[in-house]
Amino acid sequence: MSLDAVLSHIDATLPEAIDRLIALLRIPSISTDPAYKDDCARAADWLTEDLKTLGFDARSAPTPGHPMVVGHGGTGNRHILFYGHYDVQPVDPLSLWHSDPFDPQLEDTPKGRVIRARGASDDKGQLMTFIEACRAWKAVHGTLPGKLTIFLEGEEESGSPSLIPFMEANRAELTASLALICDTGLYEDRLPAISTQLRGLAKSEFTIHAASRDLHSGAYGGLARNPLHVMAQLLADLHDAEGRVMVPRFYDDVEELSDKLRQQWQGLAFNHAAYLGDVGLSIPAGEQDRTPLEMLWSRPTAEVNGMWGGYNGAGFKTVLPAEVHAKVSFRLVSRQDPAKVLQSFRTWAEARIPADCRIAWHDEIEGSPASVMSIADPAFEAARAALTEEWGRPAVFIGEGGSIPIAGYFKSILGMDAMLVGFAKDDDQIHSPNEKYDVESFHKGIRSWARILERIA
């Protein structure tokens, strides 16, 4: 069987694949620090050259920031785009690293062999799983496994300033029928997962103004409005006692979980006590008639992310401040429209404050809607079967509580769904000192992509 030959080739050439990853990891492509600008370009060039050796028509495309790597190759009925990013997080505090973050080390640990370096997991190790799968396929078959576009960004860790303009300027070139994104993790040890829905996000920052100046609570306290009380009341009223968000029409566009996903999620036996216990908590705090996984993945939220007003220095100042501030964000699901949610919130808030106060809004009304993939696309079940075969445990469709902006951009700018498959583990210490990627993640990741591409491309 041809797939078996590819898998065998992957097994036999793993040492060389690791060497290539190590070579890429040696390049300190920290995108947020201008001192590493040349290194980012160098990483892009390294990847471009590597893709060319596989027969991709590849280039390092300049942007106002760091270059994009774009490569096209192969033939097939279905055009698949693969996304990853070659830039990495800064490494400070350097003193907490046990070895040079850009001198990759192969280490044997009680949990297995790991590759330790900045970017080993996020995202150089992950993106190379896909490229190595292509390489093995090419070695065995002489061709790429399908009509592929590789699209690698160099600004993911620094806010992706060039991403939207680049996608808009290269719409035709980048539009495929499905995007694959390798920047997520296993659901748990050796249990692969495909993220099929990501919550969206809407953000609101505002100030409640009361008196024209700070007031002394001796001279005014009891008579004058204290905006700290107004803010506390407003934010307290944001939820009812059962954890429901009280902004009118907030739930209008929220869909119930499908029976299929509900059943899969139940199968995950999510241990919320352990999940909360890890951070010192014990009580699920969301909508009380929902399961913990629904609270995290499929239900929208309203969360205060900051509030501040009055005196916060040492000692006391008995002040009634003139103003108080808050930042509130909404995690969105299903078809919730960020603009509509923010507008409802504004209207609701303004109707609730006393007539001698006013609210100044500091944000534009914008945000990103949830990403909900059409899992009716047979590629999703095909990928699930492929992952199940590789890992020996039934792969699962999961949700993500957070947003992964690139998935939203693929949908909104290029009109394509994304399938998020990744092999990172919770203990990879991404963004932290001593980042690592399990050799098993790398090896089985390559094999996973070979199996997935064999089925969908």
Residues numbered 311-340 forming contacts with its own copies, rule: CB under 8 A: 311-312, 316-321, 324-325, 327, 329, 331
Contacts of 41 (CB under 8 A, 6+ apart): 60, 66, 67
Residue 447 and residue 391: Cα distance in Å, rounded?
10
Contact in structure between 404 and 183 (CB atoms under 8 Å): yes
In a 3-state reduction of DSSP, which class is residue 340? helix
Side chain identity, residue 135 = R
Q: How far is the CB of 305 from its own copies (least distance, A)?
A: 5
Write down the least CB distance from residue 136 to its own copies, Å: 34
Shortest CB 54 distance to its own copies, Å = 35
For residues 386 and 184, is the Cβ–Cβ distance under 8 A? no
Query: What residues numbered 229-268 form the site for its own copies, per CB under 8 A?
Result: 229, 231-239
Whether the Cβ atoms of residue 148 and residue 134 lie closer than 8 Å to each other: yes
Does the footprint of its own copies cover residue 274 (CB under 8 A)?
no
Among 145, 284, 405, 445, interactor with its own copies by CB under 8 A: 284
Q: For residue 282, with 0-12 CB atoms within 10 Å meaning exposed, 13-18 middle and 19 or more buried, which class applies?
A: exposed
Q: Least distance from C-beta 114 to its own copies, angstroms?
A: 23
The backbone torsions φ and ψ at residue 148, rounded to the nearest 5 degrees and listed phi first, read -120, 145
CB 330 within 8 A of CB 341: yes
Q: Is 308 in the site for its own copies (CB under 8 A)?
A: yes
Please give the single-letter amino acid code of residue 407: A
CB of 291 to its own copies, least distance (A): 10
- For residues 147 and 225, which CB has a smaller minimum distance to its own copies in the complex? 225
Q: Is 146 or 286 the residue whose CB approaches its own copies more closely?
A: 286
Among 14, 45, 220, 413, binds its own copies (CB under 8 A): 220
Q: Please say whether the beta carbons of 183 and 123 come within 8 A.
A: yes
Segment interacting with its own copies (CB under 8 A) among 101-109, 110-118, 275-283, 443-451:
275-283
Given candidates 12, 246, 285, 360, which one binds its own copies under the rule CB under 8 A?
A: 285
DSSP 8-state secondary structure symbol assigned to residue 221: B
Q: How far is CA 448 from the centre of its chain?
A: 21
Question: Is 221 near its own copies (CB under 8 A)?
Answer: yes
Six-digit token pair at 273? 């006590």
Candidates 172, 269, 274, 355; binder of its own copies (CB under 8 A) is: 355
Answer for which of 292, 348, 381, 433 binds its own copies (CB under 8 A) is 292
Interacting span for its own copies (CB under 8 A) from 32-40, 58-66, 179-187, 348-356: 348-356
**3-state SS of 61-110?**
ECCCCCCEEEEEECCCCCEEEEEEECCECCCCCHHHCCCCCCCCEEEEEC
Residue 232 · residue 321 · CB < 8 Å = no
Q: Could you say which of 165, 306, 394, 415 contacts its own copies (CB under 8 A)?
A: 306
Region from 134-142, 173-181, 183-191, 287-295 binding its own copies, contact rule CB under 8 A: 287-295
Q: Shortest distance, CB of residue 262 to its own copies, whole angstroms?
A: 17
State the alpha helices, DSSP H only, in 124-162. 124-141
Question: Taking CB under 8 A as the rule, which mask of x and - marks residues 191-210 in contact with its own copies?
Answer: --------x-x-x-x----x
Nearer Cβ to its own copies (379/396)? 396
Closer residue to its own copies (CB): 137 or 270: 270
Residue selected from 307, 365, 385, 416 as contacting its own copies according to rule CB under 8 A: 307
Q: Which is nearer to its own copies, 76 or 292 (CB)?
A: 292
Taking the complex as a whole, the smallest distance from the CB of residue 275 to its own copies amounts, in Å, to 7
Helix (H) or strand (E) holding 274, with range, is: helix 272-277
Bridge partners of 228? none
Peptide bond into 252 cis (omega under 30): no
Yes or no: say if 68 and 166 are a contact pair by the CB < 8 Å rule. Answer: yes
- 283, 289, 351, 364: residue in contact with its own copies (rule CB under 8 A): 283
Taking CB under 8 A as the criterion, which residues in 391-450 touch its own copies? 400-403
Q: Is 289 one of the binding residues for its own copies (CB under 8 A)?
A: no
Number of residues counted as binding its own copies (CB under 8 A):
77
Q: How far apart are CB 349 and its own copies at their closest, in Å?
A: 13
